[in-house]
């Protein structure tokens, strides 16, 4: 019998993207970032997931509008169910990134004292953007979902630069 751990090693680092309900912004940012990670050949080195700060939509699939707009742009949001951030996430993820300041404040309240990873805003890495928050498209139009994808692409590219540079400097 083969040892599964040896064929699927743990990633060297991991990123958790977080919004309020985990049905629009964070799943979109997750698939955009995952696509860039895969294209860069780093899928085994960088783990990616998303979650919610609130339990409003736990167990629900991604918003159909987010799925449709992502698909039109070449991204596939997988069949998944929304989940809420847990204390375990602060042990599993080196990078915990919120879509906006509201969710960052929620995460700061949940963060264990011994968390040594990076907790911040997803768009903080995209210095060329004039904003730091990804707006919630839930009550908006298709244009709002497109804007989320635009911001996710810019944020994900900037984040990948930082994460991959850190990986290049670290042993392993």
Q: If DSSP codes are grouped into helix, strand and coil, which group holds residue 109?
A: helix
**In the predicted model, is pLDDT for residue 79 greater than 80?**
yes
Dist. CA 40–CA 80, nearest whole Å: 24
Which residue from 121, 137, 154 is spatially nearest to 67, judged by alpha carbons?
137
Cα first-last separation, the chain: 27
**In the predicted model, is pLDDT for residue 1 greater than 90?**
no
Q: Just list the catalytic residues.
A: 19, 25, 136
pLDDT at residue number 3:
41
Instruction: Select the more confidently predicted residue: 19 or 5.
Output: 19
pLDDT at residue number 6:
41
For the segment 147-172, the average pLDDT, to the nearest whole number, is 94
Dist. CA 15–CA 3, nearest whole Å: 26
Dist. CA 3–CA 78, nearest whole Å: 27
Structure confidence at residue 137 as a pLDDT band (50, 70, 90):
very high
For the segment 98-121, the average pLDDT, to the nearest whole number, is 97
Q: For the chain, what is the mean pLDDT? A: 93
The residues facing 84 across adjacent strands are 52
**Sequence-distant (≥ 6) Cβ neighbours of residue 79 within 8 angstroms:** 61
Structure tokens at 171: 């042993």
The residues facing 18 across adjacent strands are 51, 98
Structural domains of the chain, with CATH: 8-169 (3.40.50.2300)
**In the predicted model, is pLDDT for residue 57 greater than 90?**
yes
Which residue from 106, 120, 144, 87 is spatially nearest to 17, judged by alpha carbons?
120
**In the predicted model, is pLDDT for residue 148 greater than 70?**
yes
pLDDT at residue number 155:
98
């Amino acid at each position: 019998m083969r040892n599964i751990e040896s064929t699927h090693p743990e990633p060297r680092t991991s990123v958790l993207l977080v919004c309020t309900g985990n049905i629009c912004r964070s799943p979109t940012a997750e698939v955009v970032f995952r696509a860039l990670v895969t294209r860069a050949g780093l899928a085994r080195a960088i783990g990616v997931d998303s979650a919610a700060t609130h339990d409003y939509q736990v167990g629900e699939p991604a918003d159909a509008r987010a799925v449709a707009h992502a698909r039109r742009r070449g991204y596939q949001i997988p069949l998944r169910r929304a989940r809420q951030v847990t204390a375990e996430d602060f042990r599993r993820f080196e990078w915990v990134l919120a879509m906006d300041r509201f969710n960052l404040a929620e995460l700061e309240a949940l963060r264990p004292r011994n968390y040594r990873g990076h907790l911040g805003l997803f768009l903080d890495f995209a210095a060329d953007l004039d904003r730091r928050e990804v707006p919630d498209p839930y009550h908006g139009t298709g244009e709002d979902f497109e804007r989320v994808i635009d911001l996710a692409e810019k944020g994900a590219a900037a984040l990948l630069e930082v994460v991959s540079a850190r990986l290049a400097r670290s042993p392993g």
